[in-house]
Amino acid sequence: MRAFVDRLGFPATAAATLVLAAVLAMAGTQARAERVIAALSHKKVEIRSNFVGAELVLFGTIERDAATVGRRSDGYDVAVVIEGPAGDVTVWRKERLAGIWVNGEGVAFVNTPSYYAVLTNRPLAEMSTRPALRQEQIGLDYLKLQPAGEDTPPAVAREFQDALVRRAESQSLYFENPEAVEMLTPRVFMARIKLPANIRTGGYRARVHVFSDGALVATERLGFWVIKIDFEAAIYDLAHKNPLVYGLGTVAMAFGVGWLGSVLFRRG
Amino acid sequence: MEIYLPIAEIAVNMFMLLGMGAAVGFLSGMFGVGGGFLLTPLLIFSGIAPAVAVATQTGQIVASSVSGALAHWQRKTIDVSLGVILIAGGLVGAALGVVLFEALRSFGQLDLIIALLYVFFLGAVGGIMLLESGRAMLRRKMGRPVAARRPGQHTWLHRLPVKMRFKRSKLYISVLPVAALGLLMGLLVSIMGIGGGFIMVPAMIYLLRVPTNVVIGTSLFQIIFVTAFAAVLHSITTQSVDAVLALLLMVGGVMGAQFGVQAGTKLRGEQLRLLLALLVLAVCGRMLFGLVATPTDLYSLATFAGH
């Protein structure tokens, strides 16, 4: 079933329907307490020159065996957590120095996801308890970031982490959306994953957590890739793997455009 | 139409970039300046990371100065030997500038230094031009002839050793101040993303006493090579030259410049200089405002969204 979902050009609704059908078909095979089975509409998001962001659809179904039937009353809750490729990020705090604002103190965080989205079917606080959410790092409040310096006081680390989350939120790279997961039936759900244009390329990890009466009952992990292709990839690769050729090429292009301009627009 | 820039890693409206290039090209054709000092701040204001804006600009300036220098080459208004000495200093300066650029970036102070340099140089050059052109306009109004500055007076710069004869400039001066000027300009090219014509031209006229007719051609000639070198160095070390962004700006700029040249011939010299001074001071003011105004968020991130 993977072959056809690999292409972004494939109509999203048709792909989504097929994914849903496949998920439902897979669900019939196995049962052991609760289980969640999920699939993504695309395994690859391709960045071309017209890339302005993308939307992926995740479909899932919750399976349960005979022993768990009738355990609960008001259905399941679903949280989908997506994390982008991690790296080091430095947060700078501006200070006023002789009338102008300059970067003063800075705290570096290691292994920080470049994208962090929490998609749920209702507000996190209504779904589970704080310790459970913290345990699984579900939610912006429970994200655990590691400062690079061992001696960073916890209060300072907290302050700069809050700032990091706030800045990333303003760039649409970190967010929580309590309406992004739609329960199609009490046991079948769909989540819309929004990727902005400024996302990093690399591997993305998605975790699907299912809660029942506030307790985590099942987890599934998936992944997808965000890659540059065609021209965008060629430019990016050349710039990083063969920077001398790239630089000389850019300069040659500049000479060409400059010369062409003076020939085309020569007056008199 | 949005276009995704592969190195800047953001989507920007293509027509906005072409338009920005054309508008700055128009002004640069009109005033006979490179326009880097306008385009780099514009790119930064429109959300492109300062590092990418500066590095990409070095490539864009090559195109606009090639266009300009070709015209001067045909009119034989380039002093090649003077240009070569300036370039020699400029290459060293550009290399030092790129090293400094990387160091400042790792300390988180690059954006600040870029803004401060802009405020300083734009403020100084804009202020001097405003005073000078205002005075010239006043004199004209009062009916007195506008006296051209008389060359030939020598300063201490002309008494330094290692003298060389520059035929086309009709100068016999030491190469040391020439190379030093080139070096300073090379530094600014790498750090500010400008060609530096708006500093180089007055410096050549007032400090080195180069005749006005060869000043602009020679300045453009040296800018080509120093900015080309800086663009290659930026590609290798900072890897923040965006070729797609550069191409859009070049195309817009080269087209805009042609119309600017025609518009420029309709205005008198001191009127042009007054307008340019006001423009330079406006950019300076906007940069200064960015430094002084309390930011909406005191915190900023480095390495998110590319850089």
Q: Residue B153: its pLDDT value, please?
A: 55
Q: Residue B65: its pLDDT value, please?
A: 86
Computed from CA positions of residues B206, B210, B211, B215, in that sequence, does the dihedral angle turn out positive or negative?
negative
Q: Which of A174, A237, A257 to mutate to test the interface with B (most CBs of B within 10 A)?
A: A257
Strands A202-212 and A77-83: antiparallel
Name the helix (H) or strand (E) containing B257: helix B243-264
Q: What are phi and psi of B147, to 5 degrees?
A: -75, 130
Q: Residue A250: its pLDDT value, please?
A: 93
Of residues A93, A167, A251, nearest to B231 (C-beta)? A251
Minimum CA–CA partner of B6 in chain A: A232
* Strongest mean pLDDT among A28-32, B79-83, B142-146, B257-261: B79-83
Q: Residue B44: its pLDDT value, please?
A: 84
Confidence of residue B97 (pLDDT cuts 50, 70, 90): very high
Q: Residue A14: its pLDDT value, please?
A: 60
Decide if A78 contacts A106 (C-beta within 8 A).
no
Mean pLDDT over B72-99 rounds to 90
Q: Do A102 and B251 touch (CB under 8 A)?
A: no
Mean pLDDT over A114-121 rounds to 94
Q: In whole angstroms, how far apart are CA B3 and each of B9, B129, B286?
A: 10, 38, 27
pLDDT at A71 over 70: no
| Spacing of C-alpha A166 from chain mean position | 16
Task: Give A150's contacts (C-beta < 8 A, 6+ positions apart).
Answer: none
Determine the residue type at B170.
Answer: K
Minimum CA–CA partner of A159 in chain B: B299
Q: Residue A9: its pLDDT value, please?
A: 42
Of residues B6, B112, B235, nearest to A232 (C-beta)? B6
Q: Residue A208: its pLDDT value, please?
A: 95
Mean pLDDT over A118-129 rounds to 91
* Strongest mean pLDDT among B18-27, B85-94, B190-199: B85-94
Q: What is the pLDDT of residues B39-48, one digit of tens each?
A: 888 888 888 8
pLDDT at A28 over 60: no
Determine the residue type at A15.
Answer: A
Confidence of residue B155 (pLDDT cuts 50, 70, 90): low
Domain boundaries, chain A: 2-228, 230-268
| Spacing of C-alpha B66 from chain mean position | 14
How far is Cα A176 from Cα A168, in angstroms, rounded to an integer? 12
List beta partners, residue B172.
B165
Strands A174-177 and A146-147: unpaired
Mean pLDDT over A75-98 rounds to 90
**CATH, range A2-228:** 2.60.40.1930
How far is Cα B182 from Cα B225, in angstroms, rounded to an integer? 11
Distance from CA of A197 to the nearest CA of B (A): 6
Q: Residue A6: its pLDDT value, please?
A: 39
Decide if B304 contacts A91 (C-beta within 8 A).
no
* Strongest mean pLDDT among A62-76, A186-200, B287-301: A186-200
Mean pLDDT over A70-93 rounds to 84
Q: Residue A205: its pLDDT value, please?
A: 95
Q: Do A94 and B298 touch (CB under 8 A)?
A: yes
Confidence of residue A84 (pLDDT cuts 50, 70, 90): very high
Mean pLDDT over B214-229 rounds to 89
Q: How many residues does chain B have?
A: 307
How far is Cα A127 from Cα A19, in angstroms, rounded to an integer? 27
pLDDT at A79 over 90: yes
How far is Cα A221 from Cα A38, in angstroms, rounded to an integer? 8
Number of other CB atoms surrounding residue A224 within 10 Å: 20
What region, left, alpha or beta, does residue A122 occupy, with left being phi > 0 and alpha being psi -120 to 50 degrees? beta
Name the 3-class secondary structure at A147. Answer: strand
Decide if A262 contacts B70 (C-beta within 8 A).
yes
Set of chain B residues whose Cβ sits within 8 Å of the Cβ of A202: none
Minimum CA–CA partner of B224 in chain A: A255
Using alpha carbons only, what angle is made at residue B25 by residues B24 and B31, rounded to the nearest 5 degrees? 90
Decide if A190 contacts A7 (C-beta within 8 A).
no
Name the 3-class secondary structure at B160. Answer: coil
Name residue, tokens 């704080």: A130
Minimum CA–CA partner of A198 in chain B: B10
Distance from CA of B199 to the nearest CA of A (A): 22
Distance from CA of B85 to the nearest CA of A (A): 21
Q: Do A262 and B70 touch (CB under 8 A)?
A: yes
As a whole number, the mean pLDDT across chain B is: 83
Set of chain A residues whose Cβ sits within 8 Å of the Cβ of B9: 198, 200
ipTM above 0.90, yes or no: no
Set of chain B residues whose Cβ sits within 8 Å of the Cβ of A91: 299-302
Mean pLDDT over B214-230 rounds to 89
Q: What is the pLDDT of residues A138-155, one digit of tens each?
A: 999 998 888 888 888 888
